[in-house]
Structure 1
Amino acid sequence: MTPIQKLLIVEGIDDKYVISRLLQRRKITYKHFEIRDANGIRQSLNAFSIAIKSGNYDVIGIVVDADTDLLERWQDLKNRLTKEGYKQIPQNPNPKGTIIVEPEEELPTIGIWLMPNNDKTGMLEDFIRFLVPEDDELLPIAQNQVNNIIKTGQNRFTKAHKSKAIIHTWLAWQERPGTQLGKAITYRFIKSQQYILDDGKASNFINWLQALFKE
């Protein structure tokens, strides 16, 4: 059996399903490629460092949430890469996805994507929100509902999870309520068969994956 040579580390199962479904929708496949759900941000960062040290991979990508401090997350990743011998690390993340190659060192090619888009704080749910068509009528209502709940102090979720509340509220109002994030990528309206999400808005992310994991 050929060993896996290309690894993409993600924070959680939703990230794994969203990315898998995006690739499926674009009919993109890679050889010797694994998407690994590390089950949390700390676990993802640690798995990233361990994968580099292992010497088992030609290419290692990581997709993590920027959360509330994008620069702090970026600095953490930079520190880990510097510790492993990387020198060609940009000062700031590339808005179209970062790829780091060390031609003079025997180190794997590295790819970094900070959800949602490398230059804003946020998470996977913000990435999904970007894919909602601009003429969608329900998303603004869902946003207002969540804002009103926060304003009146009735929210049981933390403000850091506001985006999660908005996108899951929006999904709950579709023809098939409660659709998981991953399945939302390939969800179509029953009558029109139109997709509820516009994968064209994910082109920067898809292009980054293709550049990183190209055959």
Structure 2
Amino acid sequence: MSKKILLVEGNNDRAFFRAFCKKLDLKDVDVPEITIVTPKDIGAQRNGWTNLIDHLPTEIKRLRNGDIDKLAIVIDADFEPDNYGGVTSRRSLITKKINDFLQKQNYGLYEISDQPNYKTGDIFKHTNGLPDIGLWIMPDHQNDGMIENFVEQMISASAEQQSLLAHANFSINNLPTKLFKDIHLSKARIYTWRAWQKEPGIRLPDALSENLLTIEAAANFSNWLVSVFK
């Protein structure tokens, strides 16, 4: 197992980011292969953002013991005010969990600014030399949303794919009955767009490998990822 850990919310995220790292070719001398884990992989009963945050002390211990060299966290912002949603709230929950644990253990604290490094992602430095911790809040480390908003921005600019996306949006806006919340509009668009591909319901990792999603559109995230693990 690589000693570079990317912690994500669940299995679908892991599959997507595994394909993303492969597409970005993060396997060279400076950035060896990354191990992508979910909360269940590190002892949680279930996956999800709450379990990810609750089990951060486990990863801090591993950083201190030298079991891992680098840690990056990817979590959805979701939407305020539901479930402590929003970039600011989610970031505050994570940074408080990290430094509260460190303070109790007398490990020294990470240097954390009051505001995120908008669009470029956070990389926290430790006052006493623990390895860096990276944090990216989906979709763009600035706006509320989730991974589907991130994926939507990656959809190929080809006329074919953009027409499918536009028609998916039109169809959703003209549903006779809409049962889902407005905060899940992007999720509905992505699922609909996936359903209309040559392989109906194509998995996001496959959409990435088949260039239905363009990694160049995620340059800020890619740059953050490389910076964390270099």
Give TM-score scaled by structure 2 length.
0.80
Q: Which residue of 2 aligns with 1:17?
A: 15
Find the partner of 2:98 among 63, 81, 86: 81
CA displacement at 1:173 relative to structure 2: 0.8
Q: Distance in 2 between matches of 1:26 and 1:141?
A: 30
Q: Which residue of 1 aligns with 2:125?
A: 101
RMSD: 1.8
- The number of residues matched between the two structures is 201
Query: In the alignment, is residue 147 of structure 1 matched against residue 170 of structure 2?
Result: no
- Whichever residue aligns with residue 5 of structure 1, its letter is K
- Equivalent residues of 1:74, 1:92 under 8 A apart: no
- Whichever residue aligns with residue 128 of structure 2, its letter is E
Runs of 4+ in 1 over 4 A off after TM superposition: none
CA displacement at 1:155 relative to structure 2: 2.5
Find the partner of 2:114 among 91, 99, 110: 91
Matches within 5 A, 1:157-172: 157-172=180-195
Q: Which residue of 1 aligns with 2:36?
A: 35
**Alignment gaps of 5+ in structure 2:** 40-46, 80-85, 103-107
**Cα 1:86–1:145 shift into 2, 3 Å:** farther
**Alignment gaps of 5+ in structure 1:** 188-194
CA displacement at 1:87 relative to structure 2: 4.1
Give TM-score scaled by structure 1 length.
0.86
Q: CA offsets, 1:133-175, max 9 Å, x none?
A: 34411111111222222xx4x2233333221111010011111
Find the partner of 1:45 among 53, 69, 72: 53
For the residue of structure 2 that corresponds to 1:178, the secondary structure is coil
